[in-house]
A = this chain, B = another copy of it.
């Protein structure tokens, strides 16, 4: 429990860094969340003033929502499955356009305890960042934790990706 509490504080601290960086650079972001279920949005909005940079999240837990809300192609979902690099990329692009932001990150995975298959085990998560500046970044992770831990590790990774994108833009100036 103490460990989980420590991890929660670490996540909020990371969210604060993202909000500070985006605020300082006048950047906006959004998230498309499947297995994290809104956790990244929750963490960002723990920070006062986050409304200046965080425009919102599309939590799309079903195939239908991924298609209807984010415009993910039904054929792609069918061919690759919801937990795939291709669908993560389509989710990120979809939410970036929907919320008209500078950058978006998408998370889709198998949080567990059920839903795993030999090809797509519990803990498998695809993350994808899509920037309006042309940057794209995909990451595949296999987390070793339980449902809550897998969600938290995914949220941390997504926040780190958002922070990294802002840092690279700042450094490029």
Contacts and interface: CB of A to CB of B under 8 A. Distances in A.
A81 interface: no
Task: Select the residue from A42, A55, A60 with max chain B CB neighbours within 10 A.
Answer: A42
Interface string A36-50: 111111101110111
Nearest to A115: B51
This chain: copies in complex: 2
Contacts of A50: 37, 61
Contacts of A59: 31, 38, 41, 45, 56-59
The 6 closest A-B pairs by CB, nearest first: A37-B45, A38-B38, A38-B41, A57-B59, A39-B42, A56-B65
Interface of A: 1, 5, 31, 33, 35-42, 44-46, 48-51, 54-62, 64-65, 68-69, 98-100, 111-114, 147-148, 151
